[in-house]
Structure 1
């Protein structure tokens, strides 16, 4: 269990100039700038002196703000977690209490171990997968600030699922289970239409509907972004021999980049068929997920009613 007495955000250099060295360097560290020649006064804890010094250069409020940030850097214990954002990932560490002054006047505290950008399960902490309430801290204009969402952060680092997230996941699983029978009960025309709508929602554009005139292909689709072309075969149920036959036909049509074989019943029996890298078998479970992701649950309920 990763624990911290408090959590602080630190910006590593103006415009992140020190990020790579502090995080990826041979000696991981946190580093503080500010043109402050009074390192010894900071070590002694004479913060009134430091505040008066900064008031010579800044307005009173800004001087106090700067002093408090410097004080945090010098006085936060080794149990304080430091975080920053680098290369679209949230990094965290703990730092030794010794503050060292470098030749350029900046100060450093060596990291205990390494900066880390993953949780206890070795899952990366990508910014896009974290709450905006937490990640907005990177917009702080100063250097060091407290992290209000520290409880949330520690839960994410310790891979503790939030109660509300678990409840939502459980509800989603129940929804998936409840729509599977609705999908299975669709007539072949409505099932093919559902597949068409799912792929259209994913950005694929239908080139042609060929099921009535060409038995190898039900839907001919193309991605306008990548230019990749795919053919889709839709089945209510199928056999291994039938799937293998369609794969052979697909491999003989070089104009197609991908093949999707969609079958809502009996796909367990097809699981041991060796699929080429560009052939995907979509069964009932996956189709239920795709239907939800495409926002087609209401459409499905209406069709099944």
Structure 2
């Protein structure tokens, strides 16, 4: 299902979000009780403005009020409505019929329209539309002080609802993937001593403190680390090449030592797939792609390339 719309409106859920329950009732609530249902249905904006001015509204405020009333009554079921609540973006389309409910103290607002299919807070693929992962060019409408306004970030909104990645984000993802692949190739060309130094830097930038000499001819592992925040001790074995048999042997050795909370096995050119036992969350195996992504995330791509220049 692809969502499309040529008209988009943001609607506030009452002052301080007091009409938030409209999301659960599959309704769009609207106030402006000073404009009667009959007057609003006439669709005569000039008449609404004159009425509001007579009640003490300024001409400018009355004109804005009339515009919002017209939007609520006149925009048909093809208009896409959005709002923000419960840390999510919500969206829906609404039935054209407006129901007047002002005499009912149990209902929010003075009138409502039914949300077609209810309010949704996920994209068409079921991915939650979290506010904190949306662009400010869209979420800034939540600071609108009145009730209804047009949404300028129309195309961006529809891409988010349809689960379509932003073009620039897709381009960046492709470039990042290419850089990771180049980094993986470069790792295979590093001298073993440089590779061990790189691994040491990775853990240092991740908050681990080395408590042993780097590399050398130690019998157990290449690095012994401590993390002061989580109060754990880790063993790290660095290999340019290794197979599953080698990994299994090191797991047995570190288990027998009974000195470590975690074990990291790092190899840039494994001979076949390497994997830790399914029931061992304390064992971390980093090979090509995992290692390349970690290097990119920590900003060490240039460091690798400088060693090959």
Q: Which TM-score band applies after superposition, normalised by the shorter structure?
A: 0.7 to 0.9
| Residue pair 2:244, 2:272 contacting (<8 A) in 1 also | no
1:22 correspondence with 2:22: yes
Q: Cα distance 1:180–1:207, how it changes in 2: closer, same or farther (>3 A)? A: closer
Q: 1:178 aligns with which of 163, 179, 182?
A: 182
The two structures, once aligned, show a CA RMSD in angstroms of 2.4
CA contact (8 A) 2:266 2:285 kept: yes
Give the alignment partner of residue 154 of structure 1, picking from 155, 158, 167: 158
Alpha carbons of structure 1 residues 39 and 264: separation in structure 2 relative to 1, 3 Å? same
Q: CA deviation at 1:113?
A: 0.6
Do the aligned partners of 1:11 and 1:142 also contact (CA within 8 Å) in 2? Answer: yes
Unaligned runs of 5+ in 2: none
1:172 Cα deviation after fit: 1.5
CA 1:108–1:206: 2 relative to 1, 3 Å: same
Equivalent residues, number: 300
Q: Is the 8 A contact 1:232 1:260 kept in 2?
A: yes
The question of whether the paired residues in 2 share the 8 Å contact of 1:244 and 1:273 is answered with no
Which stretches in structure 1 are left out of the alignment for 5+ residues? Answer: none
1:72 is aligned to 71
Q: Does 1:4 align with 2:17?
A: no
Structure 1 partner of 2:221: 216
Contact in 2 for aligned 1:134/1:147 (Cα 8 Å): yes
* Displaced runs of 4 or more, over 6 A: none
2:148 maps to 1:132: no
Matched residue, 2:85: 86
Question: For 2:196 and 2:56, how far apart are their aligned partners in 1?
Answer: 72
CA contact (8 A) 2:40 2:48 kept: yes
Q: Which residue of 2 aligns with 1:114?
A: 118
2:208 pairs with one of 205, 229, 241: 205
Do 1:38 and 1:50's aligned partners in 2 also have CA atoms closer than 8 Å? no
Q: State the shift of 1:63 in Å.
A: 2.1
User: Given that residues 221 and 231 in structure 1 are in contact (C-alpha distance below 8 angstroms), is that contact kept between their aligned partners in structure 2?
Assistant: no
Q: Does 1:282 align with 2:268?
A: no
Contact 1:233 1:262 in 2 (8 A): yes
Give the C-alpha shift of residue 53 in structure 1: 3.2
Contact 2:210–2:223 (Cα < 8 Å) also in 1: no
Measured in 2, the distance between the counterparts of 1:250 and 1:48 equals 82
